[in-house]
Each structure stands twice: as structure tokens, then as C-alpha cells.
Structure 1
Amino acid sequence: MTEDRTDGPLFEGPSWNFDTLQRTHDAIEAIARDELGMDPYPTRLEVVSSEQMLDAYAATGMPLNYPHWSFGKRFAQQEMLYRKGFQQLALEIVINSDPSLCYIMEDNTMAAQATVIAHAAIGHNHFFRHNEVFRAWTEADTVLDELRHARGFVMECEERHGRAAVEEVLDAAHALFAHGIDRNRHAKHPDPAETRARLAERRRVARDEADELWLRTVPQHAEDGAAEAEADERRALGLPEENLLMFLEHHAPLLAEWQRELLRIVRWFSTYFEPQRQTKLMNEGCATWTHFEIMTRLRDTGRIEDGAYLEFLDLHSMVVAQPSFDHKAYSGLNPYALGFAMMRDIVRICTEPTEEDTAWFPDIAGNDEPMATLRRAWAEFRDESFVRQFLSPKVIRDWRLFQLVDDRKAPEYVVGAIHDEAGYRDVRRALADQYDPAVLSPRIEVTGADLRGDRVLHLCHWVEDGQQLDPLEARRVLRHLRRLWGYDVCLVERDAGTDAELFTFRSDEF
């Protein structure tokens, strides 16, 4: 489809039409597949208005979602910021599905559309398809079906049970959104119906066998039996369990089946977004490096004009901008910028290594296979391991990274390491730790649930480095948790190193 334009630009000026989009997409995809060895999902481009893009923002970036008041609230907030010029809209939204959906704004110029196609339809799309975290946590060919089911089921529940009843369950589930992750992906969890039936049968048999004479004459055996029954119940419930939403879905005593399905839907969304949380740096770095490489190759071969390339460079510079720590716009390390810098550095190490690179990266230094090395990194790592493996002394120096030790027991901050020979490994280790999923969210487990007695749900928060829960937020979430469980909830904070009890929250106290 592009053979008649190989001797000239793909487009001229800012205007575009669907033929121009198709021609440019085909040329970009050809470079990605034939020259870079990339293999994205088939892509479907959807052109949307700015209001539709705002609506997609509000619905957590999904092409369709179930109705909930929080999405309308988010839409109003984003619209106000956009209309007043406090923030810009993203040029695109891409969905991890097969085929992949790439939403682009109708207000974009053609140079921006080409950038978006290279960034999202190729870069993100290839990463979605090949990264092991995404492959383990999501099934791209079922995403759109799951979204349609979620929307239809919630709307049906609102008609049958009323919007207030549905929103009460969804509000509580959203409060536990970050705790709907099944981190042990290979564990086989018991079927909830089978578990409940097995526990009921065990209790019935115990009642039939425990006659009054036996209990009166041999009480220690009854105690042993109770302890054994409690152990069996813990095993049947799969305790300890870190996936709070899944535990409630399977074992909450008072939930109706439609309420359990609502929890499963929210848990599915939580699982869908987890790989994106674990690979933000790599995903954006891959997409940013891809759009820069492809757009530069298009310019070098005369497929885009210098004016379009200058417009692209302006967009690219905004994407990779890194405000200084004392700038009012600073909000941490820009994943686009750091990811892009690390991808380019890997190419440099593979093609033009220094003695330092050879010492630090003997497996890839000078291998003259930059694309193979990048594709392997994109497929086999997540942010934490990627930084631990590939952050080089050169990038640490270029970014002037250092380690700041914040010990609340010390009277002042301490600089633990700087960008020099003695500090490179400490800086790399400290930065990698910040991307560790175990650090990004608190570790809270269900540790007990007495289904035969008071039915109190017991949870434990394992405190790392003194990072305890905010008391106000903890109490708010516990109210939602109690609403789903149906009975009182007790949350104990314990030091992960010493097992010492630090604080206890009880739902019956507020």
C-alpha cells in the first residue's frame, strides 16, 4: 500500500485523513517488523474527540467500563483541569488486548499521529505481547469480552437490586482495589462452593461423633479435635491469604452471588492493571525509544519532512522532560525519561562500549546486537529487575543520582551514596528497591476467620522499615471491609523483622 510513496514523504502539513493514517501506520509497522524485529499485536486505530478521551481517562483508560459515580467525579475533575489549561490530554490510550486498541485524538496533527502510532501501536503493543509479566497476568484475547461482561452485569444488577445497593458493594471493592492481586499466580485456590460444602460436612460429622459422654470424660481429646478442626479450616480457607478481594468473594458469609461477582469483576480490573504498575518504567521506556527510533528513520529516508520531524522533537522533548528536584513540577523520576535513557544506553553498550561497560556488563558489551538485547530485556524483566540489571554508571552520572537515607531515628538526613565509583552499586540497589512490588503497596494478609464462632475476620499488616498505615485511611478501609465481610474485622500491625505487635485496629471501635 506504500509502494507508490517510497520516493517521497508519507504526508505533508498537519492535516490528515484515514488514507494518510493507514499509509503512515503501514510504513511505521514495516520499520518495526523488518528493521527492528518487533512483533506487536494487530492494531485497530480508533479516532476519538477530546471529550471522548477525557471520558476514557475517567474510566481508567478502558474503552468501555461499568457505570460508577467515581468515574463521573474523575471526568469532571480532569475536564476542569484541561479546560483551564492546567494539564494536557494524552495523545493516545492503548489497550492491552488482541487485537490491540489504540485511541488517538482527532485534534492531533499528522506528525503527532505518526508519533502516537510508533509509540503506542508499536512500542506499547510489542511490550504487551512479549513481556513475561503481562503474559503471566493477563489474557489479551479475552480482555474485550471481560469488559463487555462487566458493563452488562453491573447495569443488570442496578436494574434488579437498585443503584444504591450496587454502588455500596463497588465502593467497598474499590477501597480494596490494591489488595485484589493474586501474587502467587501458580497457586491452586480451592473452589469456594466446594470449600463451603466440605466445611459443612466436616462440622456435621464432628457433631454426630462428639456425644456428651465422650466430651465429659475425655475433654482433652475434644480440645485436640477442635484444634485439628481449626487447622483444617485454615487450610481449607487457604490462609494466610494476601488477595483480600478473592478471599471475600469466596468466603464472606453474607454476600449474595451477584455481590460476589461484582467483587470478581473489580478483582479482574486490579489484576489487569498490576503488570502496568510493575513495568511502568520499562513499558514507557520501550515505547519512547521506539517512537524516537522509528521517527528518526522515517526522517533519514525522506518519508517525513524536516518540519514534521521538528514538531516530533518538540513533542518528544516534552515527554522526556525531567524537572529538577526543587522545581514545582517535580513529582519524582519521569519513567519516560529514565526508561528512554536506559534503552539508549543499552544500545551504546552493545555497539560502542567503554572499559567501564565491559567490566559492568560483560555479557552484552560489544555484542553488536542492540535490538536482540533490547527485545530480551523487554521480554524477561520488570522495572525492579531491569534497573538492578541494566542501570549503568554512565546513566547514574548523567542523572546525578544519589542515595538519601531517611532514618526517622536520626536527627537529619544522610547521603548514603553518590554517583562515584564507591556509590554506583548502592545507588542502583536503592533505586531498584523503589520499584519492588513488595515496597509499592503494604503487605496485608487474612490470617484468621472463625466461621463457627464470632466470625471475626483477622488481618495482619507486616510493617517494613517502620512504614505503618495511616490511621485515618486504615479505619476508612476497615469500614468497607466490614461491610463486605458482614461481621467485625481486626487488623494487627506487626514488625516484619521481629513479629512484635505495633498497633491494632478494630472495626467495632469506630
Structure 2
Amino acid sequence: MIMTDIFKPAVKAEKPLFDGPDWNFDLIRDVYDAIAEVGLGEMGLDIYRNQIEVITAEQMLDAYSSIGMPVMYRHWSFGKRFAHDEMYYRKGARSLAFEIVINSDPCINYIMEENSMTMQCLVLAHAAMGHNHFFKNNYLFKQWTQADAILEYLAFAKKFVADCEERFGVSAVEAVIDAAHALMNQGVSRNAAPRRRFDPAKARQREIKRREYEIEIYNELWRTLPQSKPEAKAEEVVIDPTPPIVPEENLLYFLEKYSPKLPAWKREILRIVRVLSTYFYPQRQTKVMNEGCATFVHYEIMNRLYEKGLVTDGSMLEFMHMHSAVVYQPGFSDRGFGGFNPYALGFAMMRDIKRICLDPTDEDRKWFPDFAGNGQPMETLKDAWANFRDESFIHQFLSPKVIRDFRLFHIRNKSEDHAVRVEAI
């Protein structure tokens, strides 16, 4: 039997969950429970535990500056970013995100205290359900990140960098981090599986052994002897300086393992930056899918809550206003055009997959014979969310209807041609 929608007919509630913009923590808990009932119970999402934090605008700016992470080592670039974002925010030239979600276990969701209750409901459905499900199930995040260890590792990284600043000086540590940040985008082994999943306990053990060795070899008497040459530091001894036979694309890994003169503490800092670069790599590869998944989930959940009578007409109008702004795609000739809006393209493709599963046309059956008319939109979407990245997802699921809706066209721009030519519309 072919279903006509994701959900079964709704049973109307006696009264809505809230009426008006004001919120409190008990209300947020009740709304989250209702959202979870739809997301987990009816849509079958699979998520990490959620940790919801309500923060101020200044705390949101602070989260911006530290790459959105709740714990981070100190560096001048974070303060520079904070001052830059704060200036634009105070002048009204830039707004803040309604939420930030961290790929961790538990999944940390930062929501703004300035949000109305409708917006809190929206961002909880978007982040705590949509992003959370994608983080836990997509193969790239499974392969490249370790959600249950990242917070502990960041705490170790913060302490290690602070200890290095105390022992070797702030300037010396900043110079190493500056260099590592400059190579951060070249700190990922893109064409190979990660060599080893990071382990905070092992990282702490390495630091303990390093300290114990320094204490063991230290002798105060050596300071009284005249020295004709600078004393070689034990940290500067490299076990295996032989470069690898196979070319290495990961520059941070190469410097960490094969630099002939790099002290151990600098190698550890390079390792920290490399781990962070690897952690963020899947997010750069799945922007359209991740935001499309979260936007689709919040759209379905909010409409389901409205069908159940848990959201008022006024709240639904506010939601539709914000949702429309999020998925707006300027035309290529508009002054505000800056490329594809990942929210718009991702959401359109998710909705189109649902349509193809439930009400396909002959064209859809020709293009997508594997799932057209299968009556299982959520199963099809969850399979796509788990097994694709942006590039492969668009190649596999971009339909002629979405191509027409977005008015996509193919341009030939070759050096041997005298003009740019539109080859397909």
C-alpha cells in the first residue's frame, strides 16, 4: 500500500504547547518532548543524547570566535574574530545565528535567549533532531570524527597549550599555532582512511611520560659546569627522521612525524591542530546535505506539531516567515547572489525525494527507478543521509524538476573559445 505522507492522521491536542513569544525552561522541556515524540517516534530519527544550553548574544559571539567549540585553547586569532563579529553585530550590520550545534556525544545545542518560543521550537527541531541525526549516521562523520571523545580531547588540548605557554612562553606557543593554523586546510588525509582515532587518555599518557622523562634526566649539577656549546635538549631528538617513501598530502602529519628538529611539545600542538582539522573535514564535505536534512526535519516536525494542534496559527506564521528566509535562493542575476544557498538546495532536494517516493511522475520513474513510488520517503532519505556526501548526493538525486525549479544551466567556458556558451538549460 502506497502511503500519502510520512505521518499517520494526527489526533488534535486540547490546547497548544505555548501561545506567545515568552519562554521558560519548563516550557522548553515540554516542547522538546513533543518534538522528540515526532522526530524519534514518528520519523524514526536516530540521535545522540541532547544537551541544551541557553546563551546570550555575547556568548554566541564567543562561540563564533572559537570555531563554535565549547572548549578551546587560547589564541589571538579568536579574540580578533570576536572583536570583528561584535563590531558588526553592535552596528546592526550582521545578525547572529539562532543556534549552534556541536557534533559530540551528548550533542550540545546552544540556543539564544533572545529567541521567541516559536524560534526555540524551530531551532530545537532543526539542531537537536536534524543535525543530530545527520552527525550520528552519516558515514563521513563516523569515519572522521569521534563524537564521544572530542570534548575530552579539547579539554586536554586547552590544558596542554596553557602548560606550554607557562613553560616556553606565550610568544613561542603562538608562533607554533600560527604556523599550524596556516596549514590547517592541508592537515587532512583526504584520500586515505584516518590512521588512528584520537584517544584523550593516550594523549594525556604521552604528556605524563614526557614530563617524567624530563624529571628523570634532570640534574642540577650540570648547571654548574662550563659549556662550550649549547646543551642539546632531549626533546629535540627525533626517533625516525626518514621521510616516507609514499608522498604525503597531510602537511601537518608530515611535519609532526618527520621534522628533524621539532621539539616534542611542538609536535603535540601540530597533532592538536591536525585533529581539529580532521574533525571539521566532514562538515565541509556535507554542507548541502547537513543543512538540507536539518531544514527538512524542522519543516516536517513543525507542520506535524501544527496538525496536532500543539502550535498556534500565529506561531506557524512566524515559523513560515523564518523558514522562507532561510531557504530563499537569489537568482544568478540578482545583486545579492553569492552562489547556491545550501539550505535552499538541500531542502528542495529532500522535499523532492519525498515527492518522488509518494507521488512520482513518469519522468521520475525513468530517472529514479530504484525508489520512485516506493512509499517509504523516510527510509529513502535516511539511507541517503547515511551513505552520501554533497558531491555524490547531488549526482545521484538531483532531479529534472529541481533543475527546472532552480533554473540551472550549463556553461562552457574554455580558453580556446572566444565567448562563454550556454550548452544546456
TM range, smaller chain: 0.7 to 0.9
Structure (1/2) with the larger strand percentage: 1
Moved more, 71-80 or 98-107: 71-80
1:301 and 2:308 aligned = yes
Q: Which amino acid aligns with 2:117?
A: M
Measured against aligned partners, the alpha-carbon deviations of 1:257-294 in whole angstroms (never above 9, x if no partner) come to: 11001100110110011000000000000000000000
Deviations 1:226-253 (A, max 9, x none): xxxxxx997x625201111001011111
Of 173, 183, 192, which aligns to 1:176?
183
Quote the residue 2:64 is aligned against.
57
SS in 2 for 1:141: coil
The counterpart of 2:93, out of the listed 86, 97, 105, is: 86
Quick check: 1:411 aligned with 2:404?
no
Aligned to 2:20: 13
Maintained 8 Å contact 2:180/2:252: yes
Q: Which residue of 2 aligns with 1:135?
A: 142
SS in 1 for 2:149: helix
* Counterpart position of 1:331: 338
CA distance in 1, matches of 2:19, 2:137: 34
Q: What displacement does 1:6 show?
A: 4.5
Which runs of 5 or more residues in structure 1 are unaligned?
A: 190-231, 419-510
TM alignment of 1:223-234, pairs within 5 A: none
Q: Which amino acid aligns with 1:398?
A: D
The reply to whether residue 248 of structure 1 matches residue 255 of structure 2 is yes
Q: Does 1:106 align with 2:113?
A: yes
Aligned to 1:260: 267
Partners of 2:245 and 2:156 in 1: CA distance: 28
2:315 is the counterpart of 1:285: no
Q: Indicate whether 1:395 and 2:402 are aligned.
A: yes
> How many equivalent residue pairs?
371
% of aligned pairs identical? 58
Task: Report the TM-score when normalising by structure 2.
Answer: 0.85
* DSSP 3-state at the match of 1:170: helix
Q: Deviations over 1:209-229 (max 9, x none)?
A: xxxxxxxxxxxxxxxxxxxxx
Output the CA distance in 1 between the equivalents of 2:89 and 2:324.
Answer: 21
Structure 1 residues 187, 44: closer, same or farther in 2, change over 3 A?
Answer: closer
- 1:214-229 superposed matches below 5 A: none
C-alpha distance in 1 between matches for 2:244 and 2:255: 11
**Matched-pair contact (CA < 8 Å) for 2:49–2:106:** yes
User: Between Structure 1 and Structure 2, whose CA radius of gyration is higher?
Assistant: 1
Runs of 4+ in 1 over 6 A off after TM superposition: none
CA distance in 1, matches of 2:337, 2:65: 24
The residue identity in structure 1 corresponding to 2:381 is L
Quote the Cα distance in structure 1 between the aligned partners of 2:152 and 2:15. 42
Q: Is the 8 A contact 2:287 2:342 kept in 1?
A: yes
Matched position secondary structure for 2:142: helix
Q: Deviations over 1:163-189 (max 9, x none)?
A: 110111111111111110022443758
Aligned equivalents of 1:257, 1:65: Cα separation in 2: 21
The 3-state SS of whatever aligns with 2:335 is: coil
One-letter amino acid of the structure 1 residue matched with residue 395 of structure 2: R
Q: Which residue does the alignment assign to 2:128?
A: 121
The answer for unaligned runs of 5 or more in structure 2 is 1-11, 197-239
Indicate the RMSD between aligned Cα atoms, in angstroms.
1.6
State the distance in 1 between where 2:326 and 2:397 align. Answer: 22
SS in 2 for 1:140: coil
Report the counterpart of residue 8 of structure 2 in structure 1.
none
Aligned-partner Cα distance in 2 for 1:322–1:87? 19
Mapped pair 1:318 → 2:325: yes
Q: In 2, Cα distance between the equivalents of 1:109 and 1:233?
A: 58
- 1:479 corresponds in structure 2 to none
Does residue 154 (structure 1) correspond to residue 168 (structure 2)? The answer is no
Q: Distance in 1 between matches of 2:261 and 2:14?
A: 69
